[in-house]
A = this chain, B = another copy of it.
Amino acid sequence: MQVKSTVNAAGRKVPLLINGEKVVPFRGVGKHKPTGRKYAPPIPSCTDYPPDGNKVLASLGEALRKCGLRDGMTISTHHHLRDGDLIANRVFEIAREMGVKDLVWFPSASFPCNEPLIKYLEDGTINRIEGSMNGPLGRFVSEGRMKGTAVLRSHGGRVQAIQDGEVKIDLAVLVAPSADSFGNARGTGGKSACGVIGYAKPDSMYATKVIIVTDNLVDIPCYPMEIEGNYVDYVVVVDKIGIPEKIVSGTTEITKSPDRLLIAELTASFLELSGILTDGVRIQAGAGGTSLAIGVFIHEILKNKGWRSAFGFGGSTKYMVRMLEEGQMGYILDAQAFDLDAVRSVEENPLHVPYPVFNAYNYHSKGNLTSMMDIMILGATEVDLNFNGNVVSHSDGYLLHGIGGWQNCLHARNVILPLPLFRDRIPVIVDSVTTLCGPGELIDVVITERGIAINPLRKDLIRRVKGSGLPLTTIGELKEEAENICGKPSKPEFEDRVVAAVKWVDGTVIDVVRQIKTKK
């Protein structure tokens, strides 16, 4: 079937139908206003639930059957157990055994551990994945082997899609490190603790049926209730929901690479000299080695000046926990805990607060946290001459990453991308990003080991660091320098077929990924 296309406001050619559903092409940042009402799940009744509150069933299979698992359903899972998750694959294994077909898997993220799902994509159990496709799943999609079209959304975009009814979840299967028999659940406790499970909150609220799977059944009330039992249909207790050492790293470590350390130092200096780093600053960084180093340098500056960050938004790590514990951070608001120190801190420290993505990232909300952040440290696979960013594909055209919270975080006041000038001799600065994930107008500064390029739209920042001694340059010069070293890489070639759509935070289609043309 030939699907009609249009060129969206970012100049990208996108289809008007995806998986048979009408979509809205990207209209520009802040230009698309939703109409209509939130999605309304069916009204349940206490008469259908046991008065003693005990919703425990003997097996996941029984729970899936009681939820009426059938062809074409949309099944959601969350990714808080990361690469250690043992349940998501099991859901589709059972579906396969039941002979169910054409399911849509709607995870909050996928990991290499989900590679076994390829066989269910091949045999028709799963029609498509709407969610991040890392590594092997991304390659599978890029090669045009998935039946349906993938839909990539940011963490906040996923919440928006659930809330607005763009995606109707028939069945949410939510793993929980601790849960009670009523279905109240949390991310701490037990042998599979992951800290927080806030990504699952919208799924629990909007799905028609909700199953909690735990390996640590506790007495009622399981508290704090990150998931409220009032939204839960069944609870399944299994031996093991995850592999602890793959759920959280033992520790997260800062980079040891001299280049990356230089980038981190430059970033910290830039934040200090530009005046972005202040007393009371609100900070979000990631858990990558460079981000961690930046965090350590920021911590030093705060300490020396006697300043305190009002709060940091996690993904939390031991470095953030250290800031909290030593008094240089007021709160950690946390959407996921990356290491054992972070998990311990969530459990013990009342200032380390589980904070659902629902409350932080949803663009179709009455405001959200991202636009209140002063400092936002992000990565990218590519940035182009217009500061547009790509996080899902590589310059070879393959879909290899999810969006995560990246698009949402672009709404912060100062979006800084500390990036190596090239990776494996492939320049990071390109003429035009392979896949457009974030419009350049939202990206303020690119910091590389060979200089700092400030988006010309941020005249205020340019003015503030003029004469500061920082190695200022332009995005064009950075690109040239990289190409002088690495040469200009060849462009990937694509078939016409769209294999994945990339949604913007407001549900519009900002770009697509096309099937890779494989060399014959």
Contacts and interface: CB of A to CB of B under 8 A. Distances in A.
A220 B310 contact: yes
Interface string A278-322: 000000000000000000000000000000001100000000000
B372 A220 contact: yes
Contacts of A353: 221, 223-224
A413 B229 CA distance: 19
A53 B163 CA distance: 21
Contact of A43 (B30, B36, B42, B47): B36
A350 interface: yes
B49 A366 contact: yes
Count identical subunits in the complex.
Answer: 2
Contacts of A233: 366
A183 B35 contact: no
Interface string A190-230: 00000000000000000000100000000111011100111
Given A43-B163, A52-B372, A333 B221 contact: yes
Interface stretch (A7-15, A100-108, A355-363): A355-363
A367 B43 contact: no
A422 interface: no
A237 interface: no
Interface of chain A, main secondary structure: loop
A58 interface: no
A432 interface: no
Given A45-B364, A51-B372, A220-B310, A39 B36 contact: no
A365 B37 contact: no
A458 interface: no
A159 to B, nearest CB: 10
A53 B411 CA distance: 12
B39 A45 contact: no
A46 B372 contact: no
A401 to B, nearest CB: 25
Contacts of A49: 366-367
Contacts of A364: 43-46
Contacts of A333: 221
A330 B220 CA distance: 10
A313 B42 CA distance: 28
Contact of A41 (B38, B330, B362): B38
A35 to B, nearest CB: 7
A7 to B, nearest CB: 23
A367 B40 contact: no
B46 A363 contact: yes
Interface string A46-77: 11111111010000000000000000000000
A34 interface: yes
A22 interface: no
B46 A368 contact: yes
A43 B34 CA distance: 6
A35 B48 CA distance: 13
A371 interface: yes
A347 to B, nearest CB: 11
Q: Taking each of A38, A231, A333, which has the highest tally of chain B beta carbons within 10 Å of its own beta carbon?
A: A38
Contact of A367 (B53, B362, B411): B53
A51 B373 CA distance: 10
A368 B55 CA distance: 12
B41 A37 contact: yes
A331 interface: yes
Given A40-B40, A43-B164, A225-B359, 15 more contacts: A34-B43, A34-B45, A37-B41, A38-B40, A45-B363, A46-B366, A46-B411, A51-B371, A220-B372, A223-B331, A223-B353, A229-B366, A230-B358, A230-B368, A350-B350
Interface of A: 30, 33-53, 55, 163-164, 182-183, 210, 219-221, 223-225, 228-233, 310-311, 330-331, 333, 350, 353, 355, 358-359, 362-369, 371-372, 411, 413, 506
7 contacts: A33-B47, A44-B364, A46-B363, A51-B367, A219-B310, A223-B353, A230-B362
Q: Which 4 A-B pairs have the closest CB atoms?
A: A49-B367, A37-B40, A51-B371, A40-B40
